[in-house]
Chains A and B, each alone.
Chain A
Amino acid sequence: MVAAGRGDREAFADLIERHQGAVIQFIFRFLGTVGRDTAEDLAQDVFLKAWTSARSYRPKAKVLTWLLHLARNTALNYRRGQRLRRTVPLEHAGERAAAGPADAGAASAERAAEVQAAIAALPDKQRATIILRHYLGLAYTDIAETQGVSIAAVESLLFRARDSLRTSLGPPQRKDESAPQVSAPSGAEHLREDKVPCCDVERSED
């Protein structure tokens, strides 16, 4: 990025190749209602902005988190513009459907649409955070840098996003009966309920 700041186009091309996937994916998932073409157009805007402001880039920020920060702002501006024009982007509906897995059956396509709708219903910060974590695999420190919040806030945003998604999606479909990734004590399986009670502590000793 520093080389790009000196006008090195080759270095900038390498940078685009390295990060284009993450930027396009973030915009596509964050906006939720746009097709591939719009996501790519907006990603192009992100890289153009990166080029024009490359001189002011400071190496203390990771390039990817900086680009994703630009991507988030670009996506928000795009959505604001869409709202001002009072148009609902219905473009590329077929393309969006085609973005699903090729071998996906009708049931899982329907489920994917539900999940997409649930993600789209999240508040901006929660949505951005779950995308950065789950789909792009960023560490909490990098998410904090991208979002301009503390690590504790990232933790809280992810919890709230997961809680909302869990509630809006209902009980997850079980492809297998494998144990959850967290080492929850055994016996959780038969206790699972659609409405999970809060503070339903069976016996309070401490």
Chain B
Amino acid sequence: MLRCRKVRRLISARLDGELDERRWTAATRHLARCRGCRAFADEAARLADALNLVQAPEARWGFAGRVLAQLPDEQPAPSSIQRLVELLRPAPVGVGTAAFCLGVGAAFLLNGANGGLNGDLAASDQAITEVAGDYAAVFAEAAIEQDLRALFPDVEG
């Protein structure tokens, strides 16, 4: 058996014409036995009359003209954030994949270099690590710069 709270929610939806017959049928079975929910149905239906007592003003004549007079001569260019959203919108998977590959690549380079430190050629590996580290840093910077230039082509420097 449906509980009163659930039934009253269904009654509210029924008043708005947003309840299908199947759900309403279940509610009517409860209503046949519950005087509290019947009273709720009655009062909720009459509530509309009370709400209609509160009036709101119409727009004054010339409202649209006053808004148009305040519009800037040209629509502002989209902000950096808006452009970023526009860029990310069509290809979220591609951008995500690129970011993931960039991260995995950098981690692979660094991890591979670090792993060599345990070998006999520690000194040599150290040098390789430094070179790899530098390379990874340069690569990462270049990739980030490229991404930023694509995102903000108008920005100088």
Contact = CB atoms under 8 A, between A and B. Distances in A.
A43 interface: yes
Q: Which residue of B5, B45, B47, B58 has the most chain A CB atoms within 10 A of its CB atom?
A: B47
Nearest to B65: A13
Interface in A95-150: 99-101, 104, 108, 111-112, 115-116, 119, 130, 133-135, 139-140
Contacts of A169: 47, 50
Given A99-B57, A159-B9, A196-B36, A20 B1 contact: no
Contacts of A9: 68, 71
Contacts of B14: 182
A204 interface: yes
* Size bracket, chain A contacts: 35 or more
B13 to A, nearest CB: 5
Contacts of B58: 21, 24
Contacts of B49: 172-173, 175
Contact residues of B: prevailing secondary structure: helix
B34 A20 contact: no
Nearest to B19: A155
Contact of A7 (B30, B35, B43, B75): B75
Nearest to B1: A206
A55 B75 contact: yes
A135 B56 contact: yes
A130 B12 CA distance: 11
A88 interface: no
A108 B63 contact: no
A198 B37 CA distance: 7
B50 A47 contact: no
B39 interface: yes
Contacts of A180: 41-42, 44-46
Contact residues of A: prevailing secondary structure: helix
Contacts of B9: 155-156, 159
A115 B50 contact: yes
Given A56-B85, A158-B16, A134 B48 contact: yes
Interface string B46-86: 11111101111111100111111011101110100010011
Contacts of B82: 53, 55-56
Nearest to A18: B64
A159 B29 contact: no
Given A159-B13, A192-B42, 9 more contacts: A21-B58, A40-B60, A44-B63, A130-B51, A172-B46, A175-B49, A188-B35, A188-B38, A201-B4
Those 5 A-B pairs whose CB atoms lie nearest each other, nearest first: A180-B45, A188-B38, A172-B46, A112-B53, A159-B9
Interface of A: 5, 7, 9, 12-13, 16-17, 20-21, 24-25, 28-29, 36, 39-40, 43-44, 47-48, 51-56, 99-101, 104, 108, 111-112, 115-116, 119, 130, 133-135, 139-140, 155-156, 158-159, 162-163, 165-166, 169, 171-175, 180-185, 187-189, 191-193, 196-206
18 contacts: A7-B74, A21-B59, A24-B59, A43-B63, A48-B71, A53-B82, A55-B82, A108-B53, A111-B50, A133-B16, A163-B8, A171-B43, A172-B50, A180-B46, A187-B38, A192-B43, A196-B40, A198-B36
